[in-house]
Amino acid sequence: MNERSRVDVQALGKVAVLMGGTSAEREISLLSGQGVLDALRALGVDAHAFDPALQPLAELKTQGFARAFIALHGRHGEDGTVQGALELLGIPYTGSGVMASAIAMDKVMTKRVWLAEGLPTPPWVCLGAGQRAREDLLAVPDALGLPLIVKPAREGSSIGVSKVQGYSQMQDAVRLAATHDAEVLCEAFIDGIELTCPVLGQGEAARALPVIRIDAPEGCYDYQNKYFTDAVAYRVPSGLDAAEEAEVQRLTLAAYRALGCRGWGRADLMLRSSDRRLFLIEMNTSPGMTGHSLVPMSAKAAGISYPQLCLQLLAAATLDCTAGGAA
């Protein structure tokens, strides 16, 4: 199919591909942004790289950009801050709005919303900045059991994440996570199959793409394995039976809608081996678009090429004030 057949690329105007930024995920954002930029230009879009770490966002207006493709990850890109700035500038952008972006970036707030909606997520304990005493740390394994996962409450790409096997490891794990965020999320470990499921669209029209099963060496799906090795096996089709695949997609859509997401996103889940029960882990509202990234992989399995995916997301760029209250 002609990638341009359904979108008038000239009507999109001058497009900024926001990449880089100031977060811990800057390196990955630059890779994502370059991929998107190359794809859009190949389709005839008047697309340009724009790094908010190198020039103020206000330049988007003065340079005449009509819309923005957000290929930023993490803080000041995926957390509602850039989205808010673009709202003020009146420049439509890809992905979720201010509120959904902010909530999804905060893993604790995400869990609170999901639980309020009756959606399954692993038990957790949140340690604030004043909860670093020995008794605070030792109380966490008592509450959640071992092993458990320790991570920054507002970070991505497995940055600052540790798997704690014993009480003696809690202090180092919390200290590492706290270098990235004042709040530390401690989460019960789910022993099972790691899954991810992308979503495209908004509201009731949103649809889930094929589920991907992630088989990482020794279960270590860390920053290095995610982006810079070929050690991880990604299985799409996932190998789940039809009922389980459908349930992953149903749960992903419910989680996406509960947070008010739009445009696109990707839910990470665990399927517990002991009872085949699903648990939502987190929602990504500005997923990676690198050569190792999962949304393009799933989209390809659904018959959507990488350039077509980029163009579809760009064409759906909008503002909160014109999105029907989705965000």
Of 74, 282, 286, 293, which one is the catalytic site residue?
Answer: 282
Of the candidates 78, 91, 304, 74, the one whose C-alpha atom is nearest the C-alpha of residue 200 is 304
Give yes or no for a contact between 221 and 232, defined as CB atoms under 8 angstroms apart.
yes
Of 268, 286, 293, 298, which one is the catalytic site residue?
Answer: 268
C-alpha count within 13 angstroms, C-beta hemisphere, residue 220:
10
Active site residue 227: yes
Q: E strands, the chain, where?
A: 14-18, 46-50, 67-70, 124-127, 148-152, 162-164, 184-188, 192-200, 207-208, 212-215, 233-235, 264-272, 278-284
- Which residue type occupies 179? T
**Distance between CA 70 and CA 297 in Å, rounded?**
19
Of 96, 162, 284, 286, which one is the catalytic site residue?
Answer: 284
Give yes or no for a contact between 183 and 153, defined as CB atoms under 8 angstroms apart.
yes
Active site residue 2: no
Of 93, 221, 227, 256, which one is the catalytic site residue?
Answer: 227
Of 266, 286, 306, 320, which one is the catalytic site residue?
Answer: 266
Active site residue 268: yes
CA 139 remoteness from chain centre: 30
Of 3, 23, 25, 93, which one is the catalytic site residue?
Answer: 25
- Which residue type occupies 5? S
Active site residue 284: yes
Of the candidates 303, 310, 301, the one whose C-alpha atom is nearest the C-alpha of residue 210 is 301
Active site residue 282: yes
Active site residue 273: no
Active site residue 192: no
Active site residue 288: yes
C-alpha count within 13 angstroms, C-beta hemisphere, residue 82:
36
Of 96, 157, 225, 286, which one is the catalytic site residue?
Answer: 157
Of 20, 21, 192, 288, which one is the catalytic site residue?
Answer: 288
* Residues classed as catalytic: 25, 157, 227, 266, 268, 282, 284, 288
